[in-house]
Amino acid sequence: MESINSPSTTAPVVETSPTSLATADIVVLILYFVLVLAVGLWSMWKTKRGTVNGYFLAGKNMTWWPVGASLFASNVGSGHFIGLAGSGAAAGIGAVAYEWNGLLMVLLLGWLYLPIYVASGVTTMPEYLQRRFGGKRIQLFIAVLYLFIYIFTKISVDMYAGAVFIQLALQWNIYLAVVVLLSITALYTVAGGLAAVIYTDAVQTLIMLVGALTLMVFSFAEVGGWQALLDGYHSAIPSIREPNTTCGIPREDAFHLFRHPVTSDLPWPGVIVGMTIPSMWYWCTDQVIVQRSLAAKNLIHAKGGSLLAAYLKVLPFFMMVLPGMISRILFTDEVGCADPDVCKAVCGNPVGCSDIAYPKLVMELLPSGLRGLMMAVMLAALMSSLTSIFNSSSTIFTMDLWRHIRKRASEWELMIVGRVFVLVLVVVSVLWIPLVQASQGGQLFIYIQAISTFLQPPVSVVFIAGCFWKRTNEKGAFWGLLVGLIIGSVRMILDFVYPAPLCFEDDTRPAVVKNVHYLYFSMMLSVITMVIVVCVSLATEEPTPEQISRLTWFSRFDEVKVAEEPAHTDMEAPEMKDRSEKHVQGTSGNGALHEDRQASVSTQASVSAASRLKRTCLWLCGLDKPPEGNGSPAPPPPDAIINSLEEQPCMRGVVDANLIVCLSVAVFLIAYWA
């Protein structure tokens, strides 16, 4: 890593780090890419990618295990490996509270939110808000906001984290590493759609689990076991640090989840409440997560996917946080550096080097072959997360923004726009990377969470009110969202203008930044937003029945009312075609028919003579069969919506029993480490 003004990005972290991978590592990486490519091609062949439903929702035919694996892989990107391990090295186990909070929230998605989304028959979350509140301004507002959030907290962070790992392993320039990663990642995202993303995610999850658990075993063996970790972490103090300060000294509460409410880095009231609101946005209303669940073939499989993801969320504590703490013990002077000059020499970032904790373990502890496996793990984490975000971002842009601009856009046009937007999004995200490097004292994971608490609570509150309070109307939701986001944006800007000082410097930041922890700010922002939503909704007109039926928790089982509307572009093209054909048949003689047949034969011959290369490229992009007509895709039939809420009693009992088990595991873990 490096600061914004650092002139070089190629300084090695340690002199003993290998500058290139061994032959065995390269073989493992090649096998990894062959496996992923094979799965991607298989999924492209298996699924229909030439329709909106097939490309953006995988044909709504996914079973529980790829859905759950994709939920986990989409969440756990390379930013998690780098960021969680870095936070573990810098401040102990506190950051795992975000993981176990997410465990609870993904279950909330399956049992409370998904039935509403499924009943409403939506494709995107902005589309749900448009149906729930009416109008267009909330839908467009949320669509643009989601794209900004993806750039700020997801895409650029994952690209940066993956590039840091490759930089440490191969000593490449960090921006060259980013370009290489994006070239690989964007390929099968653009071509395969959501089905390719989900199936490759399932493979990437398996690779991540095997590789990360292997490194965990090596780490504990190197440090001397569990007790050596407990004893050694508090004594992992760097040899060079600022005297008479706390610089470089591990936190006394490093092994506690719930910490002092005023003086700690993660105050316990903020962990319980302030952390939950942004987490609810991510797991229950974020397009990346919800889109995978909506791709499930029915509600039981969607709940099963949530359960699998929840069980897997237990593992980052053992796979990432604890190895990060071990890395500080083993490489105290480098990972735990406290002097800006030393940190600058070690990793190029004067504010801290905790983010090299995980790559350091990989490059120093693992033998050849296994090092290549961990390189594959990091690439799997990066690619699975980025492909998920790219696909969901293109879904939002295409279905919510482009269809608003081009109301009569054909499916062919929507397919092309969705793919091109991925490339645009990549370029914008790269430009944000330098700010990520210099923020939050070198703790990448804390950067992600801080930004989330400034932008996500107002959105969470609007979804909560819309899903569970029938009286919420468009004016209340819009003004609550607008005021909340303005307040959150002001705080976010202040945090960038006034970054946290180094441990030996005086804190001269404004009081609202210095004294109000970002988790407490999340609580305050949520309350302000909810008050505005409630007051404005009560002071204005009630929502119409169409804005409530099958769009809230209490109305999800309402009967579907089929509105008799005039046919739109979907029907116009076939009707006009039939009329035209009848007219031709009625007015033309045998000579005209003969000419038509000759023209048809000529057309077929020209098509068959088309370039095979062109047809192959179109097939790879899922555009080999352009749909007839220029109409937008029709909404799902009412019968499909009704059946999607039905659950087999036996399978419902199985998933509900697993829900109780999973909640019990979560409560035990949180209580034990509190």
The CA distance from 279 to 257, in Å, is 17
pLDDT surpassing 70 at residue 426: yes
**Nearest Cα to Cα of residue 437 among 324, 338, 352:** 352
Q: pLDDT at position 353, please?
A: 84
Range of 30's domain? 23-449+641-673
- Note every long-range contact of 615-622, with CB atoms under 8 Å and residues 24 or more positions apart, other chains counting: 620/44, 620/191, 621/49, 621/190, 621/191, 621/415, 621/419, 622/44, 622/49, 622/50, 622/54, 622/55, 622/191, 622/192, 622/193, 622/415
Judged on CB neighbours under 10 Å (0-12, 13-18, 19+), 630 is middle
Task: Rounding to the nearest 10 degrees, give the CA dihedral for residues 600, 604, 607, 608.
Answer: -170
pLDDT tier for residue 62 given thresholds of 50, 70 and 90: confident
Q: pLDDT at position 665, please?
A: 94
pLDDT surpassing 60 at residue 145: yes
**Nearest Cα to Cα of residue 485 among 445, 526, 446:** 526
Q: For residue 70, give the amino acid letter.
A: S
Strand-pairing partners, residue 658, are none
The CA distance from 266 to 101, in Å, is 14
Instruction: For residue 396, give the H/E element and its range.
Output: helix 370-396
pLDDT surpassing 80 at residue 308: yes
The CA distance from 63 to 152, in Å, is 32
The CA distance from 153 to 383, in Å, is 16
| Tokens coding 589 | 């003689």
pLDDT tier for residue 639 given thresholds of 50, 70 and 90: very low
Select, from the ranges 177-181, 322-326, 557-561, 596-600, the one with the highest average predicted confidence (pLDDT).
322-326
The CA distance from 57 to 301, in Å, is 14
The CA distance from 184 to 348, in Å, is 27
Going by the DSSP 8-state scheme, the letter that residue 9 receives in this structure is: S
- 308 inside domain: yes
The CA distance from 251 to 657, in Å, is 39
pLDDT surpassing 80 at residue 302: yes
Q: pLDDT at position 612, please?
A: 63
The CA distance from 609 to 602, in Å, is 11
- Cβ neighbors of 414 (< 8 A, separation 6 or more) are 52, 398, 399, 402, 403, 632, 633
The CA distance from 254 to 321, in Å, is 11
> What are the tens digits of pLDDT across the range 327-378?
999 999 898 888 888 888 887 777 788 888 988 898 888 888 888 888 888 7
- Identify the weakest region by mean pLDDT among 155-164, 370-379, 404-413, 443-452: 443-452
Mean pLDDT of 199-206: 83
| Domains of the chain: total | 1
Length of the chain: 674
Q: pLDDT at position 522, please?
A: 93
Q: pLDDT at position 487, please?
A: 95
Tell which phi-psi region holds residue 244, choosing left (phi > 0), alpha (psi between -120 and 50) or beta. left
The CA distance from 508 to 663, in Å, is 43
Q: pLDDT at position 442, please?
A: 47
pLDDT surpassing 50 at residue 67: yes
- 274 inside domain: yes
Q: Any alpha helices (H) in 588-626, and if so which ranges?
A: 590-608, 612-620
- 316 inside domain: yes
pLDDT surpassing 60 at residue 669: yes
Q: For residue 141, give the amino acid letter.
A: F
Instruction: For residue 385, give the H/E element and its range.
Output: helix 370-396
**Nearest Cα to Cα of residue 533 among 472, 578, 590, 459:** 472
Q: Is 617 helix (H, G, I), strand (E, B) or coil?
A: helix
- Supply the Cα-derived Rg of the chain in whole angstroms: 27
Q: pLDDT at position 74, please?
A: 83
pLDDT surpassing 50 at residue 572: no
Q: Is 62 helix (H, G, I), strand (E, B) or coil?
A: strand
Q: How many CB atoms lie within 10 A of CB 93?
A: 21
CB contact at 8 A, 665 and 605: no
**Nearest Cα to Cα of residue 354 among 67, 87, 549, 628:** 87
Mean pLDDT of 386-411: 83
- 474 inside domain: no
Q: pLDDT at position 35, please?
A: 83
- 517 inside domain: no
The CA distance from 555 to 580, in Å, is 45
- 136 inside domain: yes
Q: For residue 253, give the amino acid letter.
A: D
Mean pLDDT, the chain, rounded, equals 78
Select, from the ranges 44-48, 154-158, 534-538, 635-639, the one with the highest average predicted confidence (pLDDT).
534-538
Q: Which residue has the higher pLDDT, 404 or 441?
A: 404
> What are the tens digits of pLDDT across the range 522-555?
999 999 999 999 999 999 999 999 999 999 999 9
Q: What is the DSSP string of 238-297?
A: -SS--TTS-TTPPPTTTT-SSB-TTTSSSBHHIIIIITHHHHHIIIII-HHHHHHHHTBS
Q: Which residue has the higher pLDDT, 80 or 322?
A: 322
The CA distance from 365 to 358, in Å, is 11
The CA distance from 259 to 253, in Å, is 7
Q: Which residue has the higher pLDDT, 384 or 117?
A: 117
Mean pLDDT of 414-441: 70
* CATH number for position 35: 1.20.1730.10
pLDDT surpassing 90 at residue 103: yes
| Tokens coding 529 | 């937003």
Judged on CB neighbours under 10 Å (0-12, 13-18, 19+), 407 is exposed
The CA distance from 280 to 48, in Å, is 32
**Nearest Cα to Cα of residue 107 among 672, 670, 655:** 655
- Site of tokens 């993303």: 197
Q: Which residue has the higher pLDDT, 665 or 359?
A: 665
φ/ψ of 561, rounded to 5, equals: -100, 115
φ/ψ of 366, rounded to 5, equals: -85, 145
The CA distance from 347 to 1, in Å, is 5
Q: What share of the chain is helix, strand, coil (3-state, %, to 5)?
A: 75, 0, 25
- 667 inside domain: yes
The CA distance from 132 to 545, in Å, is 10
Judged on CB neighbours under 10 Å (0-12, 13-18, 19+), 601 is exposed
- 5 inside domain: no
> What are the tens digits of pLDDT across the range 494-517?
887 887 777 777 888 888 888 888
- Rounded to 5°, the CA angle 439-445-451 comes to 60
CB contact at 8 A, 531 and 470: no
Q: pLDDT at position 322, please?
A: 95
Q: Which residue has the higher pLDDT, 199 or 326?
A: 326
**Nearest Cα to Cα of residue 196 among 309, 38, 29:** 38
Tell how far CA 94 is from the center of its chain: 22
Q: pLDDT at position 585, please?
A: 45
**Nearest Cα to Cα of residue 101 among 225, 290, 273:** 273
- Identify the weakest region by mean pLDDT among 49-53, 61-65, 294-298: 49-53
- Identify the weakest region by mean pLDDT among 408-417, 477-486, 648-657: 408-417
| Tokens coding 420 | 């091109």
pLDDT surpassing 60 at residue 417: yes
The CA distance from 207 to 186, in Å, is 20
Q: What is the DSSP string of 289-302?
A: HHHHHHTBSSHHHH
pTM of the shown model: 0.80
